[in-house]
Amino acid sequence: MANDVGLFEAIHTKVLIQAIAWLAVAGMLGGCLPALRDDPVTPGEWPSYGNDVGGTRYSPLAQIDRGNVGRLRVAWTYRTGEVGGVSPGGSGSPPSRPLRS
C-alpha cells in the first residue's frame, strides 16, 4: 500500500510538471499573437524598437542613398542626464541623433 502511494505521488508530480510546462508554452505563444496580427503600419513609422518585433532595424525607405548620405547633419540630440564622466563619443549609452538631409 505504501508503495502505491509513492507511485501515485510520482505520477501526480510528473503530470503537474507537464501541465505547468504546457501553460508556460501557451503563455509565451499567447504573447506572440499581437505580433502575428497584420496590423496596418503607416509607411515610414517604426511601430516598435528596432522597427519590427525581431529588432532587425531594417528600413525600406529610400530617401537616404549613396548620393546624399554625405550631406546628412545632426537634426537634434537628447541628453539623458547620465553622469559618471563619460566623454562625448565615449562608452556610455548610445546617443539619440536623428538624421535629416
Place of cell 499581437: 34
Predicted confidence band of residue 89 (pLDDT cuts 50, 70, 90): low
80 pLDDT band, cuts 50/70/90, is confident
Residue 46 to residue 58: CA distance in whole angstroms: 10
Q: How far is CA 18 from the centre of its chain?
A: 28
pTM above 0.85, yes or no: no
